[in-house]
Every structure is written in C-alpha cells, then in structure tokens.
C-alpha cells in the first residue's frame, strides 16, 4: 500500500524538524533579489529556493498564484519546482486554496492530487467555505493516492473572523465545525492523519473560544504567520497548547528575504527549525 501523507510528514518532521518554507515569488522579492519580474526571473528565483531548501526542510510550500501570473510558462516552472523539491527529499504542499463543487472540484482534485498530473503534490490547500462535503472529491482522490489535504480553518488574515468565528445554530463557531469534520476524517489514523488544517500563528489562542486542545484534529496543523506577519515561534505555545507537537510552522518572507545567497536562505530556515525544536523540548520537559 502507498504510505500515507500523514506518515510521510511525521517521518520528515522527525528527521528534518517541524517547519514549512514557503516559495512565494512575488514581484517585490524578485526585485529584492535583483531579478526581473518575468518568467526568467521566476525560474531563477524558484530554482535557487529549491536548491537551498529542498534538502533542509520537511515541507516546501509553493504559492501557485505567483507562478500562474506568468501564464503557461510560469505554470511550467511550478511543475519543475514540484518535481525538483520532491527529488531533493522535501514534501511539497501546493498552496492553491481551491474551493468549488461537483465535477469542478473533481477536476481540481485530478490536477493536484493524482500522480498522473505534473502538478500533483504531496498535499494541497483547500477552502471548505462552500461546505465541508464540497471537498469530498479532493479528500477522496488524495486519500486514494496517499496524498494530503490542508483545510483552511482559522486563517491569519484580519478579514477571516467575519466568517470563521461566526456562530452556528448549535453554538459552535464555523471554524470549530470545520475542525470537527477534520477530526472525524482523521479518526484512527496513526501516527498522524493526512487531513490537516490551517490555523494562523497570529490567532492569539482564542481559536475556537477555548484552549489549544480544541485544535487537536489528529492531523498536522499548518501555522502560517511566523516572521513578517508578526507572530513569533514563542507564540505557537500560546495558540496551540497541547496540540503543539502536531504544529508545522510556516514562513515565506522571513526566509526568502535572506536570499538570493543559498547559504543565507538555508541558515534562515535552519534557525527557525532550531527555535521550534527548542520550544518543543521546553514544552515537553516543562523547562
């Protein structure tokens, strides 16, 4: 049987440390690296990031939109990023945040979760706000191929609470309902479920109106917001509480701003990995 994404991620986190490095080649970073905002600049940026980080981090997260903005040639670069990162030993989380219904959602699933597609990654981000069951094509296709899905739950953008912290008829928050669905999807999975959630590291510990234990869903917890968005590694303990061992902190600009020197990129990623490992050690020992 194909090893599940949850099992592969668990092993990668143990070997390389719990950290996800984003690859977000937005125009400002291309300029900062002395590159042109075109396909040539995009390719040089992406190749440098993968060469610097692919053998260091557990998870690489290319943001699809920054490749798509360059048209078909940009998407071709993204295909190479996925292949090269996996060849270097990193798992790839493709950040696309797709959310649709029926045959359209199945088409997204075929694009990102079926190994027959050159855009297939180890995992993909999705939006559940057309209803959790609208994600069924992606959930089932990913599971059939041993891949993973990260469901947006409590995002770090300031507009998110308008929907995510709204209260349902049974008194739960909308985000809390999504966490319950993910928890059910991961029931019985060991050592880690393959359906994760995205919870911003800037959410301040009030995620579902309770303690960090509410965030334990049996799968990985992707935590964007470290660095440029204002959160620190120390904030993770406050936000996630008892669920801290399942957290995969994510940073993009915090690492990428160290480029284009590959050694500086690798050092920036390694510093965050070391800081997270130290936090986990102190949390487990009570130090």
Distance CA 220, CA 198 (A): 9
Nearest to 46 by CA among 83, 5, 16, 8: 83
Residue 97 annotated as catalytic = yes
Cβ contact 253:230 at 8 Å = no
Nearest to 18 by CA among 253, 278, 287: 278
Angle between helices 39-53 and 262-285 (to 10 degrees): 50
* Residue 19: predicted pLDDT: 96
* Residue 214: predicted pLDDT: 79
- Which helix H or strand E contains 138, and what residues bound it? helix 136-144
Long-range contacts of 165-174 (CB under 8 A, 24+ apart): 172/208, 173/208, 173/209, 174/129
For residue 274, give both structure tokens.
Answer: 């070391």
Distance CA 90, CA 55 (A): 6
Distance CA 32, CA 217 (A): 39
Strand partners, 223: 249
Distance CA 143, CA 135 (A): 12
| Cβ neighbours for 282, distance < 8 A, ≥ 6 positions apart | none
* Residue 206: predicted pLDDT: 47
Distance CA 218, CA 196 (A): 8
Cα(first)–Cα(last) distance of the chain, in Å? 41
Cβ contact 177:183 at 8 Å = no
Per-residue pLDDT of the chain (287 residues; tens, 9 = 90+): 589 999 999 999 999 999 999 999 999 999 999 999 999 999 999 999 999 999 999 999 999 999 999 999 999 999 999 999 999 999 999 999 999 999 999 999 999 999 999 999 999 999 999 999 999 999 999 999 999 999 999 998 889 889 998 998 988 899 999 999 999 999 999 999 999 999 999 876 544 444 334 799 999 999 998 876 778 888 899 889 889 999 999 999 999 999 999 999 999 999 999 999 999 989 888 76
Distance CA 60, CA 94 (A): 8
- Which helix H or strand E contains 204, and what residues bound it? none
Nearest-Å Rg of the Cα atoms of the chain is 18
Number of domains, the chain = 1
Q: Considering 47, 86, 97, 271, which one is annotated as catalytic? A: 97
Nearest to 206 by CA among 240, 181, 257: 240
* Residue 228: predicted pLDDT: 67
- CATH number of 96's domain: 3.20.20.70
Cβ contact 180:191 at 8 Å = no
Structural domain containing residue 264: 5-285
């Amino acid at each position: 049987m194909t090893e599940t994404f949850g099992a592969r991620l668990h092993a990668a986190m143990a070997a390389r440390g719990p950290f996800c490095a984003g690859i977000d080649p937005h125009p400002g970073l291309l300029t900062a690296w002395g590159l042109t905002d075109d396909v040539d600049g995009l390719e040089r940026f992406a190749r440098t990031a993968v060469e610097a980080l692919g053998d260091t981090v557990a998870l690489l997260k290319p943001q699809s939109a920054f490749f798509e903005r360059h048209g078909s040639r940009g998407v071709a670069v993204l295909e190479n990023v996925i292949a090269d990162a996996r060849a270097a030993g990193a798992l790839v989380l493709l950040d696309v945040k797709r959310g649709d219904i029926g045959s359209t959602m199945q088409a997204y699933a075929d694009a990102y979760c079926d190994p027959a597609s050159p855009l297939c990654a180890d995992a993909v981000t999705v939006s559940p706000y057309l209803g959790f069951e609208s994600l069924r094509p992606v959930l089932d296709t990913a599971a059939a191929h041993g891949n993973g899905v990260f469901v947006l739950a409590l995002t770090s953008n300031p507009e998110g609470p308008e929907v995510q912290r709204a209260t349902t008829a049974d008194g739960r928050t909308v985000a809390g309902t999504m966490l319950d669905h993910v928890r059910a999807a991961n029931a019985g999975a060991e050592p880690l479920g393959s359906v994760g959630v995205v919870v911003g590291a800037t959410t301040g510990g009030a995620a579902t109106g309770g303690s960090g234990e509410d965030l334990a869903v049996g799968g990985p917890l992707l935590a964007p917001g470290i660095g440029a968005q204002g959160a620190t590694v120390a904030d993770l303990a406050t936000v996630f509480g008892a669920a801290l061992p399942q957290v995969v902190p994510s940073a993009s600009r915090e690492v990428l701003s160290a480029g284009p020197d590959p050694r500086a990129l690798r050092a920036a990623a390694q510093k965050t990995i070391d800081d997270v490992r130290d936090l986990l050690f102190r949390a487990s020992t009570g130090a």
